[in-house]
Structure formats: structure tokens, C-alpha cells
Amino acid sequence: MALMDVARELVAGCRENRTEENLDKLYAEDAVSVEAVDQGQGREVHGLDGIRGKHQWWDSTFETLDATVSDPFPHGDDRFAVIFEMRARNKGSGETFDMKEVAVYHVDGGRIVREEFFYGS
């Protein structure tokens, strides 16, 4: 897939709740995911199974109440960024919060090989 095909499909999958399906479709097996801060599991996760685990952790810990996903912002022929804004609830405490993050995705060979998340503390 070309960069913008990957970017548009990632955004569409996020908007249409097809994130899990898109992990297999869009990510390289050895992809790396990097968070801005350590949330108890380290900042970096290596491999598609680790990224799946991050998704499972989020889904088991938080309920997304509302979310918007920007259109992709391409950067050259190997990267794009997406802005995520959401309101979520911690399932354990019931606390709700607003969150905004920028995600930068690196693409090689038609697959996402690295994702980096930027957000305020």
C-alpha cells in the first residue's frame, strides 16, 4: 500500500471501530509503539503482539465516551500524523477525562513500522 492508502485506512478504521482488524492489515510484525510517558508498562512495545496487548489494556481499563480522529497529515513519503481527541472514563474509578494526542506513524514497505504518541501530561 502507498503511504496515503495506509494513512486513510488507519483513520477510517479508527472512526469505524475497526482498529483490531487494521492491526493485521496495516502493521508490520516487528512494529514498534512508543508512548510519550511510561504508563506502567514501559514506553516502548515491540512487535504486533505487544501492540495488541496495549489495545487490550486500554479497552479493559477505559471506556471511550466520545472521540474524533483528524484526517492524516502526510510528511514526505514515509510518515503521517493523526490527531486524536477523546473523552474517556476509567472503568475502575469512574473518573472521566479529556485527552488529546498526536500520533506519528512511520511506514515502510506498505506497513506501519513505528508509531509514536505525543500528549500533554
Taking only the tens place, the pLDDT of each residue in 2-37 is 999 999 999 999 999 999 999 999 999 999 999 998
CA quadruple 11, 90, 117, 110: dihedral positive or negative? negative
CA quadruple 35, 9, 77, 1: dihedral positive or negative? positive
Cβ–Cβ under 8 Å, residues 36 and 30: no
CATH, range 3-119: 3.10.450.50
Predicted TM-score of the model (pTM):
0.93
Kindly state the cell numbers that stand for 60. 479493559
At 24 the three-state DSSP class reads helix
Alpha carbon of residue 92 to chain centroid: 22
